């Protein structure tokens, strides 16, 4: 093999990159052997008639100057000059599967370093580009992206759209010409466009087809696109976006793209998720080893702003009886916070509500054997707050303009040292003073005109937020943080490096949660997905669901309860105890196993499971989302178990209505008779499904015998 070609080898995938004459990814896909110089020669492209006279490579940062007419890898200028750089290879540093490739344009005075790592255990590829200004005059960067090529056969794309209380809704499209683009300018990761998507071969599914998945790990504005060139070649680009003039580099200064995490799977979407989940578990989440994720009770939907410490202690006592392990007081504990109109910024205990301080509540919770958690929304300020009255100039805003409020609040400018220090002091003091194990960190509005000293400053704001987390984490390494932004508005890998879980959605409706959680499961393992049992009547949708459907829907994530347990009926309370107990039994499996989403012909039934990494056991949930399309639901083919092993099937939980509702004269035999089936049978023939009522679910377990 020629020296200019580097072959990175994963467990199931490979990446082959050429550095000369230009830096270009030649191959990224299924594991390949026999990579020789001659083989590389075999993929040298033809030059078609009627176009430029030379081959036009899509390099790691595609350049217009090489004749590439699609979106370049970067755009910028120096007072109008140096606007069309062409980067020549300089050096490569290799440490196993970790590459640093340096390229330079001496005329434009720019250096571009591409850093690539292929994780040999999980096959997740990490890429980022760093641009440095080499000249004395300032360089303005308008765009800087990571570019990854895709083969022509990857002609279908699946991405997510969403909104508040409806995150992670998938959509699919054919990408035959032109391409696809999604953009977020809301100042946080956003409910609207999760910065990630998957592209694959025609009709790729959960279990079938080749899939390439991408995620831009960034909590600010972003753009992702997938292009089909007119010659048929394809590539994906992912970048943080900048406002005009936001990024200027003085001599020697650099800017890096966020990390892009990507994975290739020859086994459909499930294979991609396995790669991402294992990578996230090993390399993204900083969670204490061997610590289990405690079952939560969060007070929000139970009492909202109505904080009475005596009553809260009653709630805690009841929560402990139900099996709850961590009790969290949500919004409403700080000075003057009686509704969402006032007080954000005044992070001092409301002594009218808590005349004896917070200690009695904390001590009560701790005395019951539970951990204590508390809600904060540090980046925000209400105009009606002492903080605003004292520091109206602390806003992230542009002088002279009146920007709209969102939930009656503005955003603080974290790049002002006095703001950063104030928030650090408030959080640090609160975490030092009380025995707090967990902070729910909220962020409830979108960012408009993010100005710092007159300049656009969203990039700096996002980085300052990371710095604030980093400093707090260093001071309080045992405190766990939840990333919440009106539910799922800030869900990405970069914030996850500093937090421990997400509040998936403000929507606790079990039916809606089935879709939201499935959408989130493509990139995130169950243990970071906050999933709480809400009230019987969902506050967001007014739908009513049985405790069975709610319990089973919440079971698969980081479980909790979001209601007032004191007011709940005895039947409901028995249900909470039942599902909390079940969750605790299954938690080691759920929070470490392989997530599988099963391809099923009827979209009215959703089947998902978790299989132990050693394939010794598994749980599968059958969720009937709508009326079954046919009178029978067919067989569930439960893939992913060891085909050579036998498994004993047991029913862990079934809808009360299944045996009383009269939809079946006869149930499938395995519901009542003990059965042991091979992994091969389960995957290929499967088990006959019962007919379930809409909005009900059934849980089974398989244990190797």
Residues forming a β-bridge with 236: 148, 226
Catalytic residue among 14, 330, 442, 492: 442
The answer to whether 308 is a known catalytic residue is no
In the complex with ligand GLA, which residue's Cβ is closer, 226 or 504? 504
Residue by residue, DSSP assigns 238-307 as: EEE---TT-EEE-TT-EEEPPPEEEEEESSHHHHHHHHHHHHIIIII----TT---PPEEE-HHHHTT--
Is the preceding omega at residue 21 within 30 degrees of 0, hence cis?
Answer: yes
3-state secondary structure 302-346: HHCCCCCHHHHHHHHHHHHHHCCCEEEECCCCECCCCCCCECCCC
Q: Burial code of 277-286, b = ≥16 C-beta within 10 A, e = fewer? A: bbbbbebbbe
Q: Which residue has the tokens 């580009």?
A: 129
For ligand GLA, which is the closer residue by CB, 204 or 503? 503
647 beta partners: 677, 704
CB of 515 to ligand GLA, least distance (A): 18
Binding site for ligand GLA (CB under 6 A): 300, 330-331, 375, 442, 444, 484, 486-487, 503, 506
Among candidate residues 373, 374, 376, 416, the one with its CA nearest the CA of residue 393: 416
**Which one of the listed residues 123, 506, 509, 564 is annotated catalytic?**
506
Q: Which is nearer to ligand GLA, 239 or 564 (CB)?
A: 564
Q: Phi and psi of 280, rounded to 5°?
A: -60, -45
C-alpha 198/C-alpha 331 separation (Å) is: 37
- Smallest gap from Cβ 484 to ligand GLA, in A, equals 5
Write the CB contacts of 660 (distance below 8 Å, at least 6 apart in sequence).
Answer: none
Nearest to ligand GLA of 265, 483 (CB atom): 483
Q: To the nearest whole angstrom, how small is the minimum distance from the Cβ of residue 32 to ligand GLA?
A: 46
Estimate the crossing angle of helix 309-322 against helix 359-367, to 10 degrees. 10
Minimum gap (Å) between residue 535 Cβ and ligand GLA: 14
Give the span between the Cα atoms of 176 and 179, in whole angstroms: 7
CB of 486 to ligand GLA, least distance (A): 5
- Of the candidates 265, 272, 293, 285, the one whose C-alpha atom is nearest the C-alpha of residue 594 is 272
Residue 160: other Cβ atoms inside 10 A = 22
Q: Are strands 296-298 and 558-561 parallel, antiparallel or unpaired?
A: parallel
| Residue number with CB closer to ligand GLA (452 or 490) | 490
In angstroms, give the least distance from the CB of 534 to ligand GLA.
Answer: 11
Say whether 428 sits in a helix, a strand or coil: helix
Nearer to ligand GLA, 242 or 503 (CB): 503
Closer of 384 and 602 to ligand GLA (Cβ): 384
Shorter beta-carbon distance to ligand GLA: residue 168 or 375: 375
For residue 306, the minimal CB distance to ligand GLA (Å) is: 12
Of 407 and 473, which CB lies nearer to ligand GLA in the complex structure? 407
When the beta carbons of 373 and 609 are compared against ligand GLA, the nearer one is 373
Task: Say if CB 243 and CB 519 are below 8 A apart.
Answer: no
CB of 296 or CB of 452, closer to ligand GLA: 296
Query: Is residue 459 within a helix (H) or strand (E), and if so which, with residue range?
Result: helix 458-475
Which residue is closest to ligand GLA by CB?
Answer: 331
From CA 656, how far away is CA 292, in angstroms rounded?
A: 30
Rg (CA), the chain: 27
Tell me if residue 40 falls in helix, strand or coil: helix
Q: Is 306 an active-site residue?
A: no
- Please, are residues 31 and 13 in contact by the beta-carbon 8 Å criterion? yes
442/154 Cα distance (integer angstroms): 38
Helices (H) and strands (E) in the chain, counts: 13, 40
Alpha-carbon span 22 to 83, nearest angstrom: 20
The label of the residue with tokens 């405690």 reads: 294
Smallest Cα–Cα separation from 460: which of 640, 246, 302, 664?
246
Whichever of 148 and 381 has its CB closer to ligand GLA, that residue is 381
Measure the CA angle with vertex 553, ends 182 and 193; round to 5°.
5
Task: Give, in degrees to the nearest 5, the angle at Cα 496 between 640 and 387.
Answer: 150
User: What does the angle CA 91 – CA 92 – CA 96 come to, to the nearest 5 degrees?
Assistant: 165
Gap between the Cα atoms of 427 and 414, Å rounded: 14
* Catalytic residue list: 442, 506
């Amino acid at each position: 093999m020629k020296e200019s070609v580097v072959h990175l080898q994963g467990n199931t995938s490979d990446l082959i990159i050429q550095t000369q004459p230009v830096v270009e990814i030649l191959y990224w896909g299924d594991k390949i052997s026999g990579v020789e110089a001659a083989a590389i020669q075999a993929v040298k492209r033809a030059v078609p008639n009627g176009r430029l006279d030379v081959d036009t490579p899509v390099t790691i940062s595609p350049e217009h100057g090489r004749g590439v007419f699609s979106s370049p890898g970067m755009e910028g200028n120096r007072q109008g000059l140096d606007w069309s750089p062409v980067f020549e290879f300089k050096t490569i540093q290799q440490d196993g599967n970790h590459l640093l490739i340096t390229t330079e344009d001496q005329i434009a005075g720019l250096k571009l370093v591409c850093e690539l790592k292929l994780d040999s255990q999980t096959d997740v590829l990490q890429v980022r580009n760093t641009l440095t200004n080499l000249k004395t005059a300032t360089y303005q960067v308008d765009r800087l992206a990571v570019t990854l090529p895709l083969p022509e056969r990857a002609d279908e794309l699946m991405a997510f759209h969403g909104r508040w209380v409806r995150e992670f809704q998938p959509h699919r499209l054919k990408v035959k010409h032109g391409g696809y683009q999604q953009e977020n300018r809301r100042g946080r990761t956003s409910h609207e466009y999760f910065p990630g998507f998957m592209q694959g071969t025609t009709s790729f599914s959960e279990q079938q087809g080749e899939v390439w998945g991408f995620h831009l790990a960034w909590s600010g504005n972003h753009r992702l696109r997938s292009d089909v060139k007119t010659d048929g070649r394809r590539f994906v680009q992912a970048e943080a976006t900048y406002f005009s003039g936001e990024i200027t580099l003085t001599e020697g200064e650099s800017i890096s793209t966020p990390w892009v995490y990507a994975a290739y799977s020859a086994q459909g979407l499930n294979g991609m998720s396995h790669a991402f989940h294992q990578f996230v578990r090993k390399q993204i989440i900083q969670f204490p080893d061997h610590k289990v994720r405690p079952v939560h009770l969060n007070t929000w939907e139970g009492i909202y702003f109505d904080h009475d410490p005596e009553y809260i202690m009653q709630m805690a006592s009841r929560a402990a009886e139900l099996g709850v392990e961590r009790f969290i007081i949500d919004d409403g504990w700080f000075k003057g916070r009686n509704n969402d109109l006032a007080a954000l910024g005044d992070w001092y205990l409301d002594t009218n509500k808590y005349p004896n301080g917070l200690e009695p509540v904390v001590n009560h919770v701790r005395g019951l054997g539970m951990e204590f958690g508390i809600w904060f929304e540090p980046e925000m300020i209400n105009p009606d707050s002492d903080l605003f009255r004292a520091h109206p100039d602390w806003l992230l805003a542009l002088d002279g303009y009146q920007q709209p409020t969102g939930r009656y609040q503005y955003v603080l400018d974290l790049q002002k040292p006095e703001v950063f220090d104030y928030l650090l002091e408030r959080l640090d003091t609160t975490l030092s003073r009380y025995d707090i194990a967990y902070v729910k960190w909220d962020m409830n509005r979108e960012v408009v005109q993010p100005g710092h000293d007159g300049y656009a400053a969203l990039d700096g704001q996002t980085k300052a937020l990371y710095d604030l987390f980093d400093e707090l984490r260093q001071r309080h390494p045992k405190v766990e943080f939840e990333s919440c932004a009106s539910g799922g508005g800030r869900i990405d890998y970069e914030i996850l490096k500093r937090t421990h879980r997400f509040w998936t959605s403000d929507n606790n409706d079990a039916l809606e949660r089935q879709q939201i959680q499935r959408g989130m499961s493509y990139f995130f393992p169950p243990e970071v997905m906050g999933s709480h049992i809400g009230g019987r009547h969902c506050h967001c949708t007014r739908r009513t669901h049985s405790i069975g459907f709610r319990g089973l829907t919440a079971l698969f994530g980081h479980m909790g309860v979001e209601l007032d347990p004191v007011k709940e009926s005895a039947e409901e309370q028995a249900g909470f105890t039942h599902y909390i107990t079940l969750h605790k039994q299954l938690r080691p499996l759920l929070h470490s196993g392989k997530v599988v989403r099963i391809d099923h012909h009827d979209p009215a039934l959703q089947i998902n499971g978790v299989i132990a990494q050693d394939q010794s056991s598994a749980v599968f949930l059958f969720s009937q989302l709508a009326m079954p399309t046919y009178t029978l639901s067919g067989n569930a083919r439960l893939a992913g178990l060891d085909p050579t092993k036998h498994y004993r099937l047991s029913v862990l939980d079934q809808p009360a209505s299944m045996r009383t509702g009269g939809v079946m004269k006869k149930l499938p035999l395995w519901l009542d008779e003990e059965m042991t089936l091979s992994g091969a049978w389960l995957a290929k023939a499967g088990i006959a499904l019962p007919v379930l009522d809409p909005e009900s679910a059934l849980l089974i377990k398989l244990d190797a015998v």
